[in-house]
Amino acid sequence: MKWKLSFVVGAAAGYVLGARAGRQRYEQLADAARRAAQHPAVRDATQRARETAGQAVGAVTDRVGDRLPDAITDRVACFNRSRPEDDSWGTVRR
């Protein structure tokens, strides 16, 4: 119960402080985040993370893909690559 009260108090304080900072501060923070995302080092790290994640998906697919039930393999794109309606989240649109 104590952690719930602490969470509510923290959320309320964050809301009040955020509301007082206003739209201008939000725009400053959003602009700083956009600039950071465009930095070459951040872009390189993001690309490496995507490649590593892709390799991990490939390894998992190779090891467990044929052992999973059809209910999963029919819905997850990396297990069923032949379906053209796969979306970018790895699920199949029905």
More confident residue, 40 or 72: 40
CA–CA dist 27, 32 (Å, integer): 9
More confident residue, 41 or 27: 41
pLDDT at position 44 is: 92
Confidence of residue 72 (pLDDT cuts 50, 70, 90): confident
**H-run or E-run covering 13:** helix 2-38
**H-run or E-run covering 91:** none
The length of the chain, given as a count of residues: 94
Under 8 Å between Cβ of 78 and 61: yes
Confidence of residue 5 (pLDDT cuts 50, 70, 90): confident
Whether the pTM exceeds 0.85: the reply is no
More confident residue, 69 or 50: 50
pLDDT at position 65 is: 67
pLDDT at position 75 is: 77
Please provide the average confidence, as pLDDT, over all residues in the chain: 76
